[in-house]
């Protein structure tokens, strides 16, 4: 959220706000009427004019007939907010029963007219309890919960608080517009599972609205039931598919359901702690099942048959020959982001030693072409390190060729019309892809165009045209290159709320599934789905650059992340996890910015634990072909302390854990030929050196093993003596 939006939320939820004093001279009177969809006005409505830049409430009024008049400084940028009350109450809490209304305008002249429109809705009061049964006040709960519609798209509604004027207590509430339905993504600190964004339904179904009114929701019960149903649905999906859920996890699932049923007979205040335990246990059991499934799937999908045939002097097969095999490269791409100049060659050498083989190079347009046509190739080649790293054997991906985000665009391109923007972008893409086609064979052609803030003010039809053009340019410049459509991890399209708070009524933001589907349907020529999957910690980079406040990366459980990978796999394209990291430290102040954590507050150990779990999840998803950790070093990283190495260049436990995983997924060993002269083993996909010894001589061959396919290499004992052993290496880029 932007500063004024955060301030607005705090102000409306009970913080003290300053009301500015306006001089009669140079003031603009803004007046209008607040109505619902029937044309009637709510019984009571509060209207305020706020300054988006300072969070100050400039003027406000309470109206019982829907009309209002406010005075603001002439020329002032204004956010108008209307919040209605129905005059009814539930359990002592005053109900809204109307959505809010927000409008943005600039005050001009003596008088302006602006009507505001609310919608009638059904209000659900969210009563969350601590383990001891006491109720959380609204301001005690982490902010950032949001609703999604029946199609899984985030809606642009805010969750308000309802007041109990007698006790002073406040509860968050969800108001569902009449005739619609919602699921709630509820941000909650669940003991043992973490500070997570959790799906929450109502008694196993959606929150619906057939008529106005109010309903008190037992959050603990609904969270527990929703997580149980997620677990049980997933177990049903896996039944009969070859994978067998381990018996201990089956037992945990049954125990969680029994505990929930036992709690159903208790009063809400008594069962609160038990329901939190059920929710946590359901999540952890689901995560255990997904990890067990991933381990099982990796052995099936990531390996192929390595067959070595040994022929003797007479051309007949030879039995009893000892054959050694050693994997010297991986097909799977274990990636990293980090400019060579700031990361350092020593860290890159250590990462290569640990098995990393894929580097994302940051081709940010604002940095490499400050003047039209003046591309700084020296900066790209040596500071970013594209040429230097490619020459050392790294497979390099260019990121991003286009990114319609203000900080990433050169000043000379800002403010141009659509035709010139598209023309310049096509030229830029063509120039870079052509220049680097011998060293860079994978490109993030566009970055994050699913989100409002990375669309450069274009409409969605304009973006369709723009994406077709820049991808076509990249394809023409290098027909063999792999082209990636890179998406942010705003899975539900929550950026629509920011559009609404900016005064927009037509939204450009799409959920990730809708964005990928639209790109395919509108003819964008891309090969790979790129998906960012940051999962917790503070984002301090924008604050450090002086361009914005601290932001937070929310956290999801592994069951949700596995579901995301399944949804993306259904498109039938390869997947790259293009950006992924979590913090290795924790600051409680990040909670207000939206940050979460997995299982427990972030530490170096928890970062390592999550890395292992997440990489196992991805490696066990056949469509995933690459994972890139963002960043290498804790030197101004995107996620605060999100690097694999500390700022002094020493490796963290997370890097050592990744190194251990790559060793686990590396096939090395020896075997003996059978009577048919053949020895065979299941081997992880990649390049292998194979050797056999006979008669005091060593014979070596290299062979590539692909996933799911047999690879046979013949060693003829009549052949020449073996060359020197092959050093561990990375394969050259293979293009599409």
3-state SS string over 447-503? ECCCCHHHECCCCHHHHHHHHHHHHHHHHHHCCCCEEEEEECCCCCCCHHHHHHHCC
What is the pLDDT, as a whole number, of residue 55? Answer: 79
What is the pLDDT, as a whole number, of residue 724? Answer: 54
Quick: pLDDT tens for 359-370.
999 999 999 999
Q: How far is CA 338 from CA 397, 403, 631, 635, 636, in A?
A: 12, 18, 6, 9, 10
Structure tokens, 726: 């092959």
Structure tokens, 143: 């902010």
Quick: pLDDT tens for 332-374.
999 999 999 999 999 999 999 999 999 999 999 999 999 999 9
CB count within 10 Å of CB 407 equals 11
What is the pLDDT, as a whole number, of residue 692? Answer: 96
What is the pLDDT, as a whole number, of residue 238? Answer: 97
What is the pLDDT, as a whole number, of residue 720? Answer: 65
CB 108 within 8 A of CB 161: no
DSSP bridge pairs for 182: 207
Burial class (CB in 10 A: 0-12, 13-18, 19+), 168: exposed
Quick: pLDDT tens for 556-595.
999 999 999 999 999 999 999 999 999 999 999 999 999 9
What is the pLDDT, as a whole number, of residue 19? Answer: 46
CB count within 10 Å of CB 92 equals 12
What is the pLDDT, as a whole number, of residue 548? Answer: 85
CB 653 within 8 A of CB 306: no
Q: How far is CA 486 from CA 369, 516, 519, 609, 638, in A?
A: 22, 10, 11, 26, 17
In sequence order, the 6+-apart residues with CB closer than 8 A to the CB of 298 are 616, 619, 620, 665
Q: For 333, phi and psi rounded to 5 degrees? A: -100, 115
Q: What is the distance between the alpha carbons of residues 412 and 387, in angstroms, rounded to a whole number?
A: 27
What is the pLDDT, as a whole number, of residue 12? Answer: 46
What is the pLDDT, as a whole number, of residue 725? Answer: 60
Q: What is the distance between the alpha carbons of residues 168 and 80, in angstroms, rounded to a whole number?
A: 26
Domains of the chain: 3-117 (2.60.40.10), 121-298 (no CATH), 303-325+666-716 (2.60.40.1120)
What is the pLDDT, as a whole number, of residue 272? Answer: 96
In which residue ranges of the chain is pLDDT below 50?
1-23, 729-736
């Amino acid at each position: 959220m932007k500063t004024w939006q955060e301030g607005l939320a705090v102000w409306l939820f009970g913080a003290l706000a300053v009301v500015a004093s306006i001089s009669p001279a140079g003031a603009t009177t803004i007046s209008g009427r607040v109505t619902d969809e029937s044309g009637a006005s709510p019984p009571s409505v509060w209207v305020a004019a706020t300054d988006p830049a300072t969070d100050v409430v400039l003027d406000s009024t309470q109206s019982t007939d829907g009309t209002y008049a406010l005075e603001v400084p002439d020329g002032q940028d204004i956010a108008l907010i209307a919040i209605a009350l129905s005059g009814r109450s539930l359990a002592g809490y005053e109900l809204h029963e109307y959505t809010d209304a927000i409008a943005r305008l600039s005050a001009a002249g003596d008088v302006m007219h602006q009507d505001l429109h609310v919608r009638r809705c059904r209000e659900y009061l969210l009563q969350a309890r601590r383990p001891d049964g006491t109720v959380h006040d609204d301001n005690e709960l982490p902010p950032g919960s949001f609703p999604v519609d029946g199609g899984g798209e985030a809606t642009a509604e805010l969750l308000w608080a309802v007041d109990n004027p007698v006790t002073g207590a406040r509860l968050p509430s969800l108001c569902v517009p009449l005739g619609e339905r919602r699921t709630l993504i509820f941000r909650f600190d669940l003991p043992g599972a973490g500070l997570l964004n959790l799906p929450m339904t109502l008694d196993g179904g959606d929150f619906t609205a057939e008529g106005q009114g109010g309903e008190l929701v037992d959050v603990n019960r609904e969270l527990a039931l929703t997580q149980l149903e997620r677990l049980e649905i997933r177990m049903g999906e896996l039944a009969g598919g070859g994978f067998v859920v381990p018996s201990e996890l089956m037992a945990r699932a049954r125990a969680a359901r029994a505990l929930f049923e036992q709690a159903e007979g208790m009063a809400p205040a008594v069962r609160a702690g038990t329901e939190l335990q059920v929710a946590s246990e359901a999540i952890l059991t689901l995560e255990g099942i997904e990890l067990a499934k991933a381990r099982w799937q990796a052995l099936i999908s990531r390996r192929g048959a390595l067959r070595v045939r040994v022929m003797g002097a007479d051309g007949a097969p030879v039995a009893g020959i000892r054959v050694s095999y050693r994997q010297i490269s991986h097909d799977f791409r274990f990636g990293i982001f980090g400019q060579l100049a700031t990361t350092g060659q020593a860290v890159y050498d250590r990462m290569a030693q640990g098995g990393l083989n894929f580097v994302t190079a940051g081709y940010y347009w604002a940095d490499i072409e400050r003047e039209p046509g003046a591309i700084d190739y020296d900066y790209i080649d040596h500071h970013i390190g594209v040429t230097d790293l490619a020459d050392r054997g790294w497979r390099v991906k260019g990121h991003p060729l286009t990114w319609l985000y203000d900080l990433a665009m050169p000043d000379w391109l800002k403010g141009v019309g659509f035709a010139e923007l598209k023309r310049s972008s096509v030229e830029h893409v063509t120039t870079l892809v052509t220049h680097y086609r011998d060293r860079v064979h994978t490109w993030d052609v566009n970055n994050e165009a699913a989100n409002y803030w990375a669309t450069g003010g274009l409409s969605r039809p304009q973006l369709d045209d723009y994406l077709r053009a820049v991808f076509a340019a990249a394809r023409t410049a290098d027909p063999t290159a792999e082209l990636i459509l890179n998406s942010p991890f705003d899975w539900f399209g929550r950026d629509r709320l920011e559009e609404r708070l900016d005064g927009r009524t037509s939204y450009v933001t799409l959920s990730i599934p809708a964005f990928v589907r639209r790109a395919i349907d509108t003819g964008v020529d891309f090969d790979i789905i790129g998906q960012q999957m940051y999962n917790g910690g503070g984002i301090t980079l924008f604050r450090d650059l002086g361009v914005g406040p601290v932001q937070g990366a929310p956290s999801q459980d592994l069951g949700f992340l596995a579901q995301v990978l399944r949804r993306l796999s259904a498109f039938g394209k390869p997947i790259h996890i293009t950006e992924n990291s979590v913090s290795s430290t924790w600051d409680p102040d990040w909670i207000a910015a939206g940050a979460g954590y997995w299982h427990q507050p972030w530490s170096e150990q928890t970062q390592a634990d999550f890395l292992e779990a997440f990489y196992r999840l991805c490696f066990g998803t056949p469509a995933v072909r690459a994972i890139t950790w963002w960043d290498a070093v804790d030197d101004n990283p995107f996620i605060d302390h999100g690097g694999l190495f500390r700022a002094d260049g020493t490796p963290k436990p997370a890097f050592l854990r990744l190194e251990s995983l790559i060793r686990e997924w590396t096939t090395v060993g020896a075997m003996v030929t059978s009577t048919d002269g053949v020895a065979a083993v299941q081997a992880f996909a990649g390049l292998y050196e194979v050797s056999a010894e006979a008669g005091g001589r060593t014979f070596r061959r290299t062979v590539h093993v692909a996933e799911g396919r047999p690879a046979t290499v013949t060693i003829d004992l009549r052949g020449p003596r073996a060359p020197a052993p092959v050093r561990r290496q990375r394969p050259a880029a293979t293009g599409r």
